[in-house]
Structure 1
Amino acid sequence: MAKHPAPRLGFTPDSQFPAVYAEKGVVSFRLTTPFRSGELAGLTAIEGDFVASSIPDQAIFRLSDGTCQQFTGKRTPSNEPHLGLNAITLGASQLHQHDLFSSELQAYFSWMTYSLHNLHSGEGLVGSTPEMDLQVSPHTLELSEDQLILSVSVRYSIDCIEEQIVALLQDNLPTLETKLDITRSFPPIAFDRSHPMLETMRRSYESVTGLDGHPIITTGATYARFMPNIIAFGPSFPGQIGIAHNHNEYMFVDDLKRNIEIYRRTLDELLR
């Protein structure tokens, strides 16, 4: 974009079918909670395969008595937390009354349990807010000297603004001393649903699949957020949930062939 003008039309195959006319907002937080000296003595390390794009399937809590507590969940993309099992919050739910832990640490893990464990729509953090259409995904937990640092990704409705989410979360932090930092911020975007390109994509998709091709909203994030005149279009089909951002990411050969035909028809019409 620094050297060339934006394309007149186009799409990125980095999402799902049918055509995606809108992407929900994304805001990521780092919650840093300090503890008084010695209050974290029962916990010596936290380990896991933690990445921002997924909820973790492994979390190891090493304790001061030399033992370790390992928790196995199910990895899934962070925009679809309900499809998996978060190993971090699972660990908190099992350890929040551990005898080795101080009352402060027990309270912290209790907050995580009752605010986040299997509460993917934010109901444990901000109450029942269906109009915000939240997906809440804790994805990283770090032990740093006398601090615990929890990183959380939140997706929200295209009709909301980030400040609403921040304000609600500020009122529901684990302690008064917890510091909230925003580490990533993608406002929601929406493309004109009546645009001729979307109609072309609908016809191409329906002619190949026989399925309803009207445009949809996604919880994912693509570079269409930053590139004018671009939307996300494919490559996964309805029902193919959780195949991305996972171990052994895959696509069936027949579906790859359907992709080729959908894109061929779409490009043929757009380029006329």
Structure 2
Amino acid sequence: MLEFTAATRRDEMIEALCKILAIESVKSAPQGNMPYGKGVFDALIKMLGIAEKLDFDSVNFYSHLGYVEYGDGDDLFGIVTHLDVVPAGDGWTVPPFAGTVRNGRIYGRGAIDDKGPAIAALFALSAIKENCISLNKRVRIIFGCDEESGWSDMDFYKKNGGEIPGMAISPDAEFPIINAEKGLLQLRAVRKAYPVTQEKGGLVVEALHAGERVNVVPAVCSCKIRGNAEVVRRMLDIFNEDSAVKITAEEKDGALLLTAHGLSAHGSKPEEGKNALSYMLSFLNMLPLQKNAVSDAVYELARYVGLQTDGTNLGIASHDESGALSLNLGYFKTTEEGVEAGIDIRYPIHTEKTPVLSAIRGKIKELSIEEVFSRPPHYVPEDSPLVAGLKRAYEEVTGEKAYCMTMGGATYARAFPNSVAFGALFPGQQGTEHQADEYIEIDSLVKTADIIANAILVLCK
């Protein structure tokens, strides 16, 4: 049982987290020894510097990730976090990359996903070290750098001799325990540009843009359309009467600029957002568009995806004890080469990827469907020593009953066989990951550190 608390280091934790949040660690083009760009590299170096000030020997694993370690023994217990974040997006009322402390919360992109939990884990291990507690396992906190964009850091770690923990947790989800994660399938839908014969009276979509990441519900979508503006405005009035997302129109350079403002959410929970792209497609589907690569994509995606988040029209809807399949249309962009859209799918643990992919390709004919990234479902039995220990650790600190859950999100728990997601959102709390004004409650930051510290004691002392 834990006999100390991270509350005594509350101010120190806040200061450390704000320093990390001030770094815009969005993946960018590689530069020299910075495989994920300067922002992610700077966050890694800053975190390792904070760890060294806490008297840890840190390891920079070829700038793909870093880690610190404490304890003795042949067995390794892993705590897997990440420092990269998704782009800020729109709708913020505070600076996304500053670390703003207000009303008991710390705001910033990555506050809950996953810089805050990373700081909590670091201070949890520091408290154990500071109290000179002997451990019979080595505890390694891993600071990943490519969780939001493909997990190449974990692949690099495994291929280059990184030790695989016998047990691991990833504080990148919810308490009490996520012991099952749905399968993940991310797709790219492409339509190449082709010569178009001009038709009289039709409407031409010249550009359509929304979103930046496939695993984020896009909050804004813009469209440039040319033709009979009066027709568009009349249809827009009809559409806006009953639509949960309104679309505005502005004339510029002889064209209409349409803008839809929705609500962002994590791509694994698309039903919690309002997908501005999906609403724009639904509107454009009402119009007589001249045929080009954009209109082909618009009509196809509106027909088979539209406002649905469960894949019914694609013939891929499924459900089991782990929940229902979810689908997010994450981005859409037009270039001189053509059109590209991103689709993020989370499928139940008893569903297989191949039939899902085949069904989509069987429906969508106008676009080429390419698999970009996938992960199979992940499951650790509830009666395993790892889960039993985590239940005890959670209950001793919170006084509340621990239980297991399933999620659609993909955490680094999948990176290792005997690993589960453990924190950092508490039951009843609102998840703001991938949303504007993302935050972590300071009390939750401290409590998360205490729970992780107790988990280390239960499983490694």
Q: Scaled by the length of structure 2, what TM-score is found?
A: 0.54
- Among residues 339, 349, 361, which one is paired with 1:148 in the alignment? 339
| C-alpha distance in 2 between matches for 1:87 and 1:67 | 17
| C-alpha distance in 2 between matches for 1:161 and 1:181 | 17
2:241 is the alignment partner of 1:52? no
Question: What does residue 158 of structure 1 align with?
Answer: 349
Equivalent runs, 1:60-139 vs 2, <5 Å: 60-64=222-226, 65-99=254-288, 101-102=289-290, 108-126=297-315, 128-131=317-320, 133-139=324-330
Moved more, 61-70 or 127-136: 127-136
Moved more, 179-188 or 8-17: 8-17
Shift of 1:53: 2.5
Unaligned runs of 5+ in 2: 1-157, 227-253
- Among residues 229, 236, 240, which one is paired with 2:429 in the alignment? 240
Question: What does residue 402 of structure 2 align with?
Answer: 213
| C-alpha distance in 2 between matches for 1:197 and 1:60 | 48
Query: Who wins on radius of gyration, i.e. which is larger?
Result: 2
Shift of 1:26: 0.5
Work out the percentage of aligned pairs sharing the same amino acid: 22
Change (3 A) 1:43 1:146: farther
| C-alpha distance in 2 between matches for 1:29 and 1:49 | 15
For each residue in 1:92-150, what CA deviation from the matched residue of structure 2 results, as whole angstroms up to 9, or x when unmatched? Answer: 11222335x22676665344334323311111221653348211001111223473322
SS across alignment from 1:258: helix
Question: Which amino acid letter does the alignment assign opposite residue 353 of structure 2?
Answer: E
Change (3 A) 1:256 1:97: same
Shift of 1:52: 2.2
Equivalent runs, 1:3-22 vs 2, <5 Å: 3-22=161-180
User: CA RMSD for the aligned pairs?
Assistant: 2.4
| C-alpha distance in 2 between matches for 1:170 and 1:130 | 21
Shift of 1:179: 1.2
Is the CA contact (8 Å cut-off) linking 2:207 and 2:224 kept in structure 1? yes
Is the CA contact (8 Å cut-off) linking 1:61 and 1:69 kept in structure 2? yes
Question: Which amino acid letter does the alignment assign opposite residue 359 of structure 2?
Answer: L
2:193 is the alignment partner of 1:32? no
SS across alignment from 1:251: strand
Question: Which amino acid letter does the alignment assign opposite residue 156 of structure 1?
Answer: Y
Is the CA contact (8 Å cut-off) linking 2:268 and 2:326 kept in structure 1? yes
SS across alignment from 1:82: helix
Moved more, 242-251 or 23-32: 242-251
| C-alpha distance in 2 between matches for 1:106 and 1:34 | 12
Shift of 1:6: 1.4
Unaligned runs of 5+ in 1: none
SS across alignment from 2:161: coil
| C-alpha distance in 2 between matches for 1:239 and 1:36 | 51
Moved more, 75-84 or 159-168: 159-168
Change (3 A) 1:116 1:210: farther
Is the CA contact (8 Å cut-off) linking 1:121 and 1:135 kept in structure 2? yes
SS across alignment from 2:324: coil
Task: Say which structure is richer in helix.
Answer: 2
Change (3 A) 1:265 1:39: farther
Shift of 1:270: 1.1
| C-alpha distance in 2 between matches for 1:97 and 1:35 | 22
Is the CA contact (8 Å cut-off) linking 1:121 and 1:134 kept in structure 2? yes
| C-alpha distance in 1 between matches for 2:195 and 2:302 | 24
Count of residues in Structure 1 that have an aligned counterpart in Structure 2: 269
Moved more, 82-91 or 262-271: 262-271
Moved more, 83-92 or 128-137: 128-137
Change (3 A) 1:241 1:152: farther
| C-alpha distance in 2 between matches for 1:146 and 1:9 | 47
Is the CA contact (8 Å cut-off) linking 1:71 and 1:90 kept in structure 2? yes
SS across alignment from 2:439: coil
For each residue in 1:48-89, what CA deviation from the matched residue of structure 2 results, as whole angstroms up to 9, or x when unmatched? Answer: 342123010011001234221001010000000000011111
| C-alpha distance in 2 between matches for 1:39 and 1:236 | 54
2:370 is the alignment partner of 1:181? yes
| C-alpha distance in 1 between matches for 2:225 and 2:312 | 31
Moved more, 233-242 or 127-136: 127-136
| C-alpha distance in 2 between matches for 1:122 and 1:49 | 20
SS across alignment from 1:77: coil
SS across alignment from 2:207: strand
Is the CA contact (8 Å cut-off) linking 1:76 and 1:242 kept in structure 2? no
Shift of 1:236: 0.8
Change (3 A) 1:127 1:225: closer
| C-alpha distance in 1 between matches for 2:359 and 2:391 | 38
Question: Which amino acid letter does the alignment assign opposite residue 202 of structure 1?
Answer: K
Q: Scaled by the length of structure 1, what TM-score is found?
A: 0.89
